[in-house]
Chains A and B, each alone.
Chain A
Amino acid sequence: MRLHIHQLEKSFGSKSVLNGIDFTFEQGRIYGLLGRNGAGKTTLFNCLARYLDHDRGGIGIDLTEEAADPQSFFSVPRPDYRESDIGLVFTQPHLPDFMTGREFIKFFIEINSDKVINPKEVDEYFRLVAFNPADGDRLIKGYSHGMMNKLQMLISMYILQPPVILLDEPLTSFDVVAALEVKNMIKSIKKDHIIIFSTHILQLAQDLCDEIVVLQDGLLRHIPQESIHSPQFETDIIRILQDSPEVSEYQQP
């Protein structure tokens, strides 16, 4: 399975945010998406998850095993991917305040019964993300940021299990223990998914991601895999993000 992006463009008025991105993400890999504030990471995620319409270009999910480059993939007319094929976990949890956690999960499963794979009991789902079932009977309004994020990850990663999972800086609100649990969760499901993870924390990107891509000047730049664990990684990334002329060694794939 691959997620193809071909010549993707998106502007807001006169401000061009995505300038013709060409990239292919592959199943079984965790991609770290890096970029400065305002580089367009959230816009890219919103376009992929269909929360925003893009201006030009194409996005497609190739569910076949055969490798194909974006150009040949888009040269054949094929049905569009479904909204539910891409799950987006927001930085700010996006949950209804006046529902209990248990109600939310229960109703969520009822509403999405056609998309839920192997439905389980609500408490069983809670256990998957180390969420205390007793807290399930409290209002979401009173939950901590971390608890809300766990619920959000639960629905996106364990209940719906979409082929592509986009995580927009999801670990920022977790304490060290919860962050480790979530990191392990992400690693445990990567085999069957394409996971794209945006973060500003370079150490986390090194630790968790198999591939690193940098969004700069509206384009995605792939960082060679061997560089991720090199001692120069941090300096190199900062140089790229500072738009240094010395970054020419990193080319777009």
Chain B
Amino acid sequence: MRSLQMMLTTRKISTAMTLNGLVYFCQKIPVIGKAVPDSLYGLYGAKTVWVILANLARLMKRLLTKTIYLGSLFASSFFCAVITGDDKNFNVFTDVGRIMTFFFFFSYLAAALAFGKALNLDLGTDLLMIDKMHSDAGKYVPARIYERKIIDFFATIPLAIVLSFSDQYTIWQALLAVFLMTASKLAFESAVLLCFAMLRRVAKIRYRILSILYVGAGILALMAPFYIMIKKIPFSFKALVFHPAFVIGIMAAAIASVFYINRYTHYRELAFVSVTNYNLALDKRQKEKTRTQFGNTTEFAAKLNKDDLSSDRFSHLSGYAYFNRIFFHRHRRFFAKKILWRTLLIGLAVLAATIFILTGNLGADTKEKLWGISFRILPVCFFILYTLSIGRTATAAMFANCDAAMLSYPFYRDPKVVIPNFYLRLKTILRFNVPAFSLVAVLALMFDLFSRAMTNMDAALINWSMILPYLVTLTMMWLFFSFHDLFIYYILQPYTSELGVKSKLFSIVQGFVWFLAYINLQMSNVNIWIYMAVIIAATAVYLIVGLLCINKFCAKTFRLK
């Protein structure tokens, strides 16, 4: 009864938080938001009605998920029937043996191993209940486990009904199969808890080991029935599951499991370890994640060596040139890591595409479509360069490690400081972007050249008259991506001292640039001459207008929010 009340309250909390989150979200919508009053949070009576509706919807969702699961059993059975050549005789009502083999491996083993509640406590509800609502983990987690099993049992009853329509299972046999599935899942819950109790002293790796073992075993259990079917290994669900030894064994295991679950003492630790590394780390982790994105972590500071901290090599510089060089020198590994990973991924993708084109059996039409015009790859380059540009990372790191503190001093906001600083930084970002952008330029050229040669196109291998505009276009892209993020940073200065983004306009502009990059990815039929002309002209205009804006406004706009 106490568990039931706890679960009801958990549902109420979950729904109340969802509704509050919805009201909060609506309040943040420009214009409309002002019409959403705070008083909505206090409509507790209305929220109770929503609790009922939300939980009905939750049960419906559960039933729907089970129906999809049921469909997957039929689909898997049919797939194996096709592979073994038995598909002509396949009938869901006569071929129940095959379906039940999948049911056994999927539900009795895979789901029980990998999707048990003890192994999958969630951040949104479970940790909140244990940590912030102070509910007794020793009562809460068992209640959640039993709740999951009860709902699971009832949601699987439709399968039992479908089974009873076949001539191989009576309704009672089908219900017994579902009941034993629940017992099996319950037994596996205590196995997870037992493993955790044994591994909990092995610092750091304890939960990871457990997860890998269980999920790995779950995946094997998912694959096993396919192997059994395809290799035509005899397997009878009925003979195994309805064997008295199996029934007694699984029931004994389930009963023992209930005792073990009720007496288990490490739930609180399990909850925190499974979600994050102990309780308070929850908020710290989020902050640390943000700080990592901004290149501002204690770990980063600890990794700085004597050479990083020495500024002698820049003694020939002075003022902000000196200041900026030190900043970028100390952050060079942070930037290099970002660039290296992205470049590696792009390089691998280009390599894979080249191999596909060279070895793939492409028809002549496709080849012509692909290589009819030189440098079809240019719009793709736009997207690639968007992902490779270090501008966003660099501006975020500048803010977190330097400007967040320095902007509080009036001298730092002086036009004589801000504007030269902008140009110094622009030069540095341009330099940082050179390796990745050069690589893309070379790769694109090689890709175009070799693909044409290897696919034996009759047309000229490369249209040499296009080389110059091609290079100018790529140079403009390099200028655009190096300039854009820094320009937006100086004009909108979107970051807060907590390293959040406050400016909605900033999000809109960045979203638009992303959209632009995505649109480029879709431009398979664009006239490449027009494309190059548009890129060159648009970037030139953007740069001119942007630099004028910087000179005129940035001393006023580059402020702390």
Residues of A within 8 A of B (CB): 46, 50-53, 83-84, 90, 92, 94-96, 98-100, 102-103, 107-108, 110-115, 137-139, 141, 155, 160
Contacts and interface: CB of A to CB of B under 8 A. Distances in A.
B280 A90 contact: yes
Interface in B122-136: 128-129, 131-136
Contacts of B133: 96, 107-108, 111-112
B268 interface: yes
Would you call the interface of chain A mostly helix, strand, loop, or mixed? loop
B231 interface: no
Contacts of A94: 131-132, 279-280
Contact of B279 (A51, A108, A112, A115): A51
Given A83-B136, A94-B132, A111-B133, A100 B280 contact: no
Contacts of B278: 46, 51-52
Interface string B1-35: 01001100100110011001100100000000000
A13 B39 CA distance: 50
Interface in B237-272: 268-269, 272
Would you call the interface of chain B mostly helix, strand, loop, or mixed? helix
Given A51-B279, A96-B17, A137 B134 contact: no
A107 B17 CA distance: 12
A160 B134 contact: yes
A-B residue pairs, 6 tightest by C-beta = A137-B42, A98-B17, A98-B20, A111-B135, A110-B9, A98-B21
B283 interface: yes
Given A103-B44, A110-B9, A98 B268 contact: no
B132 A138 contact: no
Given A51-B279, A94-B132, A98-B24, A107 B41 contact: no
Contacts of A50: 268
B38 interface: yes
Contacts of A114: 2
B400 interface: no
Contacts of A107: 9, 12-13, 16, 133
Nearest to A13: B203
A115 B42 CA distance: 27
Contacts of B283: 92
B445 interface: no
Contact of A111 (B9, B24, B279): B9
B contact residues, range: 20 to 34
Contact of B42 (A46, A90, A100, A111): A100
Interface string B521-549: 00000000000000000000000000000
Nearest to A156: B134
Contacts of A100: 20, 41-42
17 contacts: A51-B279, A51-B280, A52-B278, A92-B283, A94-B279, A98-B21, A98-B24, A99-B16, A99-B17, A102-B42, A107-B12, A108-B133, A110-B5, A138-B41, A139-B24, A139-B41, A155-B134
A100 B132 CA distance: 14
Interface in B434-493: none
A137 B23 CA distance: 13
Given A94-B280, A96-B17, A83 B268 contact: yes
A37 to B, nearest CB: 14
B135 A112 contact: yes
B134 A84 contact: yes
Nearest to B128: A96
Contacts of B279: 51, 94
B9 A99 contact: no
B17 A137 contact: no
Given A52-B278, A141-B24, A95 B12 contact: no
Interface string B123-166: 00000110111111110000000000000000000000000000
B12 A53 contact: no
Given A114-B2, A137-B42, A96 B132 contact: yes
A220 B20 CA distance: 45
Contacts of A102: 42, 44
A142 B272 CA distance: 26
A111 B129 contact: yes
Task: Kindly name the residue among A92, A110, A111, A112 whose own CB sees the greatest number of chain B CB atoms within 10 A.
Answer: A111
Given A84-B134, A111-B134, A138-B38, A99 B6 contact: no
